[in-house]
């Protein structure tokens, strides 16, 4: 029996486009990655309008990039941590698309997306995601063979607790507020503004590498990670 054309295409990433979606916090980001480049990317403040705003931006980005729904061969999504509503909305959109069209789904943490944008300074990297009420979710990475690897479990800390826990030398990136940056002074280097934005283009790069290697998730069972007490 002949294979369904869309299912056959899904086994050949080189002929398809990957859609990446990140709605973990009040800042959302989407990107479209084809076999050779990031075709389009958009990052913006969504506040509490994730579902409608993200769906509209996906349609707009696909239209301006001349990408048809049939061209999408896989979906990547940030699985957290972040706000309960934000993470849930992104997963709902991604799971809906993947399930409706039988597409591979790849879940990536917000920490890995932030870390992927950082240059190699050969010092530990702390990736931060805002957790509300003057707190951050933090994950420490170390360089191993020119690649960042998580060195510990992630944790929720107040700005002061996090700043006091950092052992210099270190590189801190992600959701760094001016207050937190001042607390980190003399203890760690803070990434410049462009490297602190959680961009879906980096999410797409991580996911695309997993897709072509066959390392994908089950859309029905992939789970979010939330900060405690959210």
CATH number, domain containing residue 208? 3.30.420.40
Q: Is residue 34 part of a domain?
A: yes
Distance CA(161)–CA(140), nearest Å, equals 14
Q: Is residue 188 part of a domain?
A: yes
Residues 152 and 206 in one domain: no
Rg for the chain (alpha carbons), in Å? 18
Q: What is the pLDDT of residue 226?
A: 84
Q: Is residue 226 part of a domain?
A: no
Q: Is residue 132 part of a domain?
A: yes
Asked if 115 and 125 touch (Cβ cutoff 8 Å), the reply is yes
Taken as a whole, the chain contains a residue count of: 230
Q: Is residue 143 part of a domain?
A: yes
Residues 150 and 171 in one domain: yes
Residues 192 and 203 in one domain: no
Q: Is residue 93 part of a domain?
A: yes
Residues 133 and 206 in one domain: no
Mean pLDDT per block of 10 residues along the chain (230 residues) reads: 38 77 94 97 81 88 96 97 92 96 97 97 96 95 95 96 96 97 96 97 98 95 79
Residues 104 and 208 in one domain: yes
Distance CA(58)–CA(99), nearest Å, equals 17
Domain of 178, in residue numbers? 118-196
Q: What total number of domains does the chain contain?
A: 2
Residues 102 and 135 in one domain: no
Residues 105 and 124 in one domain: no
Distance CA(188)–CA(226), nearest Å, equals 27
Q: What is the pLDDT of residue 6?
A: 37
Angle between helical axes of 50-64 and 84-101 (0-180°, round to 10): 50
Q: H/E element holding 130?
A: strand 125-132
Give 147's strand partners: 144
Q: Is residue 228 part of a domain?
A: no
């Amino acid at each position: 029996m002949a294979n369904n054309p869309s299912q056959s295409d899904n086994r050949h990433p080189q002929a398809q486009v990957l859609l990446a979606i990140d709605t973990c916090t009040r800042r959302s980001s989407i990107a479209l990655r084809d076999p050779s480049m990031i075709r389009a990317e958009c990052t913006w403040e969504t506040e509490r309008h994730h579902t409608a705003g993200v769906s509209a931006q996906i349609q707009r980005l696909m239209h301006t990039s001349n990408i048809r729904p049939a061209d999408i061969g896989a979906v990547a999504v940030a699985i957290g941590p972040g706000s309960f509503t934000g993470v849930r909305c992104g997963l709902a959109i991604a799971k809906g698309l993947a399930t409706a069209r039988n597409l591979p789904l790849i879940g990536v943490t917000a920490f890995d997306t932030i870390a992927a944008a950082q240059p190699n300074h050969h010092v530990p990297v702390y990736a931060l995601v805002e957790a509300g009420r003057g707190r951050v979710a933090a994950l420490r990475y170390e360089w191993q063979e020119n690649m960042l690897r998580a060195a510990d479990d992630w944790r929720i800390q107040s700005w002061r607790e996090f700043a006091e826990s950092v052992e210099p030398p270190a590189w801190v990136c992600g959701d760094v507020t001016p207050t937190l940056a001042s607390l980190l002074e003399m203890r760690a280097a803070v990434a410049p503004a462009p490297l602190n934005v959680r961009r879906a283009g980096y999410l797409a790069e991580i996911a695309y590498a997993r897709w072509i290697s066959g390392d994908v998730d089950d859309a029905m069972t992939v789970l979010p990670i939330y900060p405690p007490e959210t």
